[in-house]
Chain A
């Protein structure tokens, strides 16, 4: 049974159950059954794995993920991970049972169990990860699911705030941990946990040890709510109590100490480790216990107690001695059991009495004797009373505290801090029991208190029984399991230790007695003060971690953000574009400056005068277009086309016939497109240019001119420098040599497009289709500006003339306009279609291809619109561009997928020549079918965009009619 799949199942089952739970009906039992079965199954699988992890053996399961980056989905279970997975799944199962009775019917039960299972899966992921990156991913998942669980009652503001605080703190910690783990991976050269655990010396002696340590500890200490990050845990108490019982006793907060113990063999034992971990742990241990005494909310008391106990574990881990590590691992388990049962007690009291305020509660023993008894035993374990499990680990802690580990103040203070913290623990334990269960009967409670249902008490009873059994006969119960865990962490350094209850009268026992007596006296002294005091300890209650945190959050995420936005941000386009050009220039200049830019004296040698003449015209066109674009839009468009034609001729000149062809055709449609758009732009009188520009505007123009000169000059220099060098050996030769052999075509450019890089082309035509649809969608709701609605001046004059003449009707001149060219354009329709077909068919061997043919075909359509008008064309010709596009995409994708039928990868092509009557031998490759798809899509997209704009002329008439009707109505 125990094999690789069982590890995988332990992670997959909870997540699978989590998804499934969402689809279950919302009445109470179905999600409970699911969650119960999943947790029980995980528990049983974990238990079955035990024989494989004894004697320091390790169970592995690996699924490769990104092997080139050293990432794999590697799961790994050793004795320590086993102990933790038992703890997680065991307490998880009990909490599910408990939650069944705790949750109210009106709560969204499926969501609760879905999140609960997902959290458990993530927690098991942390425990079982065999790869540190994987561990961090699960670590972050626990933060996210804990956020969702704490905020489960999201109508409650305190729950939302607590959840957000927990997420912020643990999330930041998780990011630090990620950075730390990346550093570990850098030092060790692997993220594999086995490899990392084997390189302790390398890590400790690395110059990066201190930053790595700090980052990893930031992750662990935030997660375990250690000083100074402890304040999120009490605020997380607004979570439903089953969540606290699970997350804040055995899982979420234990992840931090789990990680410290996991990395203990490789990171512990240095002065830095001792000081950071020891200081944070001691502060959390003593302060947490001290604060817990003064809490009025039961869950608040338990939360501070958790901080304190985790501090104890952290302190033990800081010492760097193997015996202390044993005690730490032992206490992790013990704390999980008694604290989970105490949280359940708190939930029962809240549920049955309606309040968790110790000042209001009193004398509940007579109403719920069984719960009270169980709670007393668990509290005694928490206080460290003999014959309970808490006593054993606390004895070990005392024994370690009096040992000298490093000569320092911290080590000298340790025994005193230990006794002090333990005395506080005794005090708050007594307070909890005495305040809630004893004393006079309670008055004025929201509910009449009564005993909880049996099944709600059962999980508590199981846990308390475990506390007792472990406390009385540790060697026979927890002994072997603890030993497996200890051996797997410490390896050959495992010390000899004894789990006996009685070690004779020694110093640790005396310390325990002192703590018990001291705690009792402390409680008696404080009793009357506590009965009426405010929440929180005196003086310290003024120093609210939550308040400080919120103020910091507001400052960072609101004040600073606003300041930066108002001072550095802008909504104006021009400064943004200026920045863009400037940064591009600086980036280019900087890299050239660093690497040097060498080229000989530029010479005109070998330049044909005609080519130079072409570009004199081209450059003049470009400059004039820039000059005229504001006041003479049509002139600018014509000049732009001049520059385009120069570009086109350059392509033809320099051995790129395909580009020349495509550029020419695109030039045609672009010009038509912009011409169609010109109509909707506002009139701008050239006279306004005469107004003397203000000094500020002139300055801005000089600055822009400078930027433009720098950008253009820079590009010239770079282009010349590249062309002056001999090219490096590129991949061009491969394409040239194999185009015919592998692609079956002689036009290498076309073969690259439809065959070698067919997948890229598929992506590109998809983009084209998306753009066309966007254009179409934007124009569907187009509303022209009011001053563009009226008929153009030219048409108005023509219509007036028509009306004045007796033999003409209004509109005649418009329809007669350019009649001869119109007729020629209409006659050209079939000719251009033949041209498109010709370009398409020869594309594989000669210049042409799907892109060029598609644009030619689109030009054929748009010419008809230009010649005869939208209404005339659409009465006679139904063009469905969206269908063309759909057919094109399907064709291209289906051709690619067709290769699968023959067992080849996507878009593999096949080529041969076919004899056709009359036409002769033509190349037929499956790539041609792909090219057909390209052709269809280009036609569809281009026509769709052009027609969408052309259609506005009809809509404009409608809009003007509406405007006139409105005018008449008023």
Chain B
């Protein structure tokens, strides 16, 4: 499980970084989305996720913390997902406006010589 998850994180981030270094804005936005998947999974994995132990408490009685996964990375990632959406939207709009202003979709706003 851990091995697959860590390899998945690596592939997501590797593909994302590759796209981040490409010259076209659309490539960068796809790359950033991939990186955000990878980073979210990475933060999530810091809580040593397990199968079948969601942090939803049973009714009443004292709580045994060992029966549940760590809720903190989940809370962090949940807001990260929403904020990630917002920044994707912002970047998309910036790239559209930049394309409208400069006529080019190169990340530097002009075609390379």
Contacts and interface: CB of A to CB of B under 8 A. Distances in A.
A839 B58 CA distance: 19
Q: Which 7 A-B pairs have the closest CB atoms?
A: A712-B14, A716-B10, A654-B49, A708-B18, A720-B6, A626-B15, A719-B6
Interface string A560-593: 0000000000011110011001000000000000
A9 B62 CA distance: 58
Contact of A625 (B20, B30, B45, B93): B30
B51 A654 contact: yes
Contacts of B52: 655
Nearest to A761: B79
A722 B70 CA distance: 14
A732 B65 contact: yes
5 contacts: A650-B8, A708-B14, A712-B13, A739-B63, A747-B56
Nearest to B67: A736
A644 B37 contact: yes
A941 B86 contact: yes
A139 B15 CA distance: 54
Please indicate which of the listed interface residues B15, B52, B59, B90 has the most CB atoms of chain A within 10 Å of its own CB.
Answer: B15
A704 interface: yes
B17 A707 contact: yes
A400 B7 CA distance: 80
A746 B55 CA distance: 8
B6 A709 contact: no
B59 to A, nearest CB: 8
Nearest to A585: B17
Please indicate which of the listed interface residues B20, B77, B99, B105 has the most CB atoms of chain A within 10 Å of its own CB.
Answer: B20
Nearest to A787: B103
B97 to A, nearest CB: 5
Contact size range, B = 35 or more
Contacts of B7: 615, 619, 716
Please indicate which of the listed interface residues A577, A612, A629 has the most CB atoms of chain B within 10 Å of its own CB.
Answer: A629
B6 to A, nearest CB: 4
A767 B86 contact: yes
Contacts of B62: 737
Interface in A828-853: 845-847, 851
Interface of B: 1-27, 29-31, 33-34, 37-38, 40-42, 44-59, 62-63, 65, 68-72, 74-75, 77-79, 81-90, 92-97, 99-101, 103-105, 107-108
A713 interface: yes
A747 B56 CA distance: 5
Given A708-B21, A736-B63, A719 B34 contact: no
Interface string A779-799: 100111111100000000000
A709 B90 CA distance: 28
Given A636-B30, A752-B72, A719 B82 contact: no
Nearest to A727: B48
Interface string A600-632: 001110111001100100110011011001100
Interface stretch (A79-87, A540-548, A662-670, A810-818): A662-670
A640 interface: yes
A681 B70 CA distance: 43
B11 to A, nearest CB: 4
A51 interface: no
Interface residues of A, dominant DSSP: helix
Given A737-B65, A778-B93, A681 B86 contact: no
A771 B79 contact: no
Please indicate which of the listed interface residues B27, B33, B55, B99 has the most CB atoms of chain A within 10 Å of its own CB.
Answer: B55
A748 B18 contact: no
B75 A749 contact: yes
A619 B7 CA distance: 9
A521 interface: no
B17 A708 contact: yes
Contact of A669 (B1, B13, B16, B85): B85
Contact of A622 (B15, B42, B92): B15
Contacts of B55: 655, 736, 747-749
Nearest to A705: B18
A219 to B, nearest CB: 45
Contacts of B88: 670, 673-674
Interface residues of A, number: 116
A643 B37 contact: yes
A778 B58 CA distance: 48
A803 B69 CA distance: 63
Interface residues of B, dominant DSSP: helix
A659 B44 contact: yes
Contacts of B56: 657, 746-748, 845-847
Contacts of B105: 681-682
A844 to B, nearest CB: 11
A61 interface: no
A680 B96 CA distance: 7
B7 to A, nearest CB: 6
Given A573-B107, A630-B24, A655-B49, A712 B15 contact: yes
Given A622-B12, A629-B19, A719-B9, 11 more contacts: A573-B107, A637-B30, A640-B30, A644-B33, A655-B52, A659-B77, A663-B81, A670-B33, A732-B71, A735-B71, A736-B55
Contacts of B47: 727, 732
Interface string A736-769: 1101100000111100110001001100100110
A543 to B, nearest CB: 49
Given A574-B21, A722-B46, A938-B82, A716 B9 contact: yes
Contacts of B65: 732-733, 736-737
B57 A746 contact: yes
Interface string A635-659: 0110010011011001101111111
Nearest to A720: B6
B100 A785 contact: yes
A388 B22 CA distance: 81
Contacts of B97: 778-779, 782
A775 interface: yes
Contacts of A727: 47-48, 70
Given A655-B52, A657-B54, A673-B92, A715 B103 contact: no
Nearest to A722: B46
A206 interface: no
Contacts of A739: 57, 63, 71
A723 B6 contact: yes
Please indicate which of the listed interface residues A711, A761, A786 has the most CB atoms of chain B within 10 Å of its own CB.
Answer: A711
Nearest to A760: B79
Contacts of B25: 681
Nearest to A625: B30
Contacts of B3: 602-604, 607, 720
A572 B72 contact: no
A727 to B, nearest CB: 5
Given A662-B82, A749-B78, A615 B8 contact: yes
A86 B93 CA distance: 63
A786 B68 CA distance: 57
A951 interface: no
Contact of A785 (B78, B82, B99): B99
A949 interface: yes
Nearest to B2: A723
B10 A722 contact: no
A704 to B, nearest CB: 4
B11 A736 contact: no
A640 B17 CA distance: 14
A724 interface: yes
A767 B101 contact: no
B108 to A, nearest CB: 5
A730 interface: yes
Please indicate which of the listed interface residues A615, A739, A749 has the most CB atoms of chain B within 10 Å of its own CB.
Answer: A749
Given A682-B105, A720-B6, A748-B56, A757 B21 contact: no
A633 interface: yes
A606 B105 CA distance: 46
Please indicate which of the listed interface residues A673, A715, A733, A768 has the most CB atoms of chain B within 10 Å of its own CB.
Answer: A715
B76 to A, nearest CB: 9
